[in-house]
Structure 1
């Protein structure tokens, strides 16, 4: 497992299972050979999400940058916890990534692309390595005020029932993956251990906002003048589709449905307000919105995501790679 320590992760294509002490995490590096001091594009995916969903984004980024991705504990090619926990928190995820990169001897600087719950885990990672993150793309990211973190409320679960998110939304029709790539996503999503681990992440999600608020990252403008891109998606459409599918299936009481509708009605404004606040992490930041794409933009419009990474990349290079604090 630790034979990977002899690899040069800055050049060529490499992948390995790296020990973080208790178990191994799968990590891979690919794309352009890294020049001295150049950032690595580091993927931090959302809750219950694996690297399979990012294949299109990865291929495009590899044309101009170095790409590093990994599967969190209990997902994809990574190993399970020796004793699977009932809850996995954002702090746990960030610490494991920190250990993984240290043990693999992969150093910053890092340009992070994060999605959904990755918006929270990435900020915990920034707390651990504030001087090594030189840019970040927040893709429809969860925040400390995100309404999405309350999505596991009893009335939502009652109406959703046993509905499959993929089957109840339009992602299966709109994704840009090949048949083989899409099959890989579905196969991983439906593995019992994947679903168990995703449940543990959901159980730990409510602790994330408290931890982030305590760190006062917005008040301290933690990223200085390093570029930040915030790309918000039309997630309320996904949520409305789920609600309507649940109602059609006869799930939930009248009160459950009433509360669900109220949640859908306020989701968009809440999302806008929460994600807009992320601009306060840096003096160099931009915000955009895609009405055409729902939550999983990395699969439905991968080039839109790549454009934001390219903007961060260009801002870093235009500074001569010497942005300061």
Structure 2
């Protein structure tokens, strides 16, 4: 099978360099760099109309899924596919599933890593984390608190490539309509209709709230944020934990006898693909 890897929102392939390298040792991997991400240009950047959008138009998950489907046809990559998706990439992956239709011969299974869900963006508004978080984090050495640079295991060159990739991707990522795409996916009632029932599905959840709490505590210790801003961040952290618990409790592990796997890995947060690619690979291997 061919692994189709869907990156998270605003995250080009350079962010996942270690994970992609390790997956490539065992499987054929194609990275889905959406329109405007990394080296993937907007369709009209070459002076021609894109297949789904033109400059300045918001990009829906469905657009990205349709473009990927068309690209795979042109490339002659017929699958079957294992869909591996991180964060917002899970919304795009599930739209891709919808575009493909329910064909057992095209899909082997799904591994959803810290996935965004239909209601995530509706539950947490206006952005994740909330604007008040920026005020609380003012002057805080985020890398010192999170130790992401150290724990990523990247070389200096790889880290620099990732930073440049993120900066280059930012304009394109800003055009993605995450909230509207989540709402559209919700209206399709994939879970109610058991759209994923034919395949094994692995879901990996981590402990992002703890990492956010550490950052919040560092900001408070530095004297940052007004009482109201701190209150807003505390409410967000509470809501995030509650939402995560609801998602975990609501996942039916054995519906219809179909194999499901839910793994809670509390040792790191949302950036688990960068910190612990081995944990992600375990989930992909299980789907295989």
Q: Into which bin does the TM-score normalised by the smaller protein fall?
A: 0.7 to 0.9
User: CA contact under 8 A between 1:142 and 1:275: conserved in structure 2?
Assistant: no
1:138 aligned residue: 112
State the TM-score, normalized to the length of structure 2.
Answer: 0.83
TM-superposition CA deviations, 1:17-50 (whole Å, max 9, x none): xxxxxxxxxxxxxxxxxxxxxx211101110011
Equivalent residue for 1:181?
A: 158
Q: What SS does the corresponding residue of 1:156 show, helix, strand or coil?
A: coil
Q: How many residues align?
A: 271
- 1:98 alignment partner in structure 2: 69
Distance 1:217 1:271 in 2: 19
Choose the corresponding residue for 2:5, options 43, 49, 56. 43
SS at match of 2:195: coil
CA contact (8 A) 1:43 1:113 kept: yes
Instruction: Please state how far the C-alpha of 1:92 moved relative to its aligned partner.
Output: 1.9
Structure 2 equivalent of residue 217 of structure 1: 190
Alignment deviations for residues 248-281 of structure 1 (CA, whole Å, 9 cap, x no partner): 6766542232121111023123123225656578
Structure of higher RCO (CA pairs closer than 8 Å, 6+ residues apart): 2
Residues 162-311 of structure 1 aligned to structure 2 (within 5 Å): 167=143, 169-191=146-168, 194-201=169-176, 204-244=177-217, 247=220, 252-274=225-247, 277=250, 283-311=258-286
Contact 1:218 1:278 in 2 (8 A): no
Q: Return the match for 2:27 from 65, 69, 77.
A: 65
Distance 2:90 2:280 in 1: 15
Q: Is residue 42 of structure 2 the alignment partner of residue 80 of structure 1?
A: yes
Superposed CA RMSD: 2.8
Which shows bigger deviation, 55-64 or 269-278?
A: 269-278
- Structure 2: state its 5+ residue gaps: 45-53
TM-score by length of 1: 0.74
SS at match of 1:289: strand
User: Using a 3 Å threshold, how does the CA distance of structure 1 residues 166 and 106 change in structure 2: closer, same or farther?
Assistant: farther
Gapped regions of structure 1 (runs ≥ 5): 1-38, 314-325
Residues 218-252 of structure 1 show CA distances to partners (whole Å, capped at 9, x for unaligned) of 11211223111011011112332444455567665
Change (3 A) 1:107 1:78: same
Q: CA deviation at 1:105?
A: 2.1
Secondary structure in 1 matching 2:199 = coil
Q: Distance in 2 between matches of 1:212 and 1:225?
A: 19
Secondary structure at the aligned position of 1:213 is classed as: helix
* Contact 2:122–2:179 under 8 Å retained in 1: no
CA distance change for structure 1 residues 298 and 221 in 2, over 3 Å: closer, same or farther?
same
- The equivalent position to 2:18 in structure 1, one of 40, 45, 56, is 56
Which residue number in structure 1 is paired with residue 49 of structure 2? none
Kept in 2: contact 1:155–1:252 (CA 8 A)? no
- 2:97 aligned residue (119, 123, 126): 126
Distance 1:224 1:154, change over 3 A: closer
Q: Aligned equivalents of 2:37 and 2:141: distance in 1? A: 18
Alpha-carbon distance in 1 for matches of 2:128, 2:6 = 28
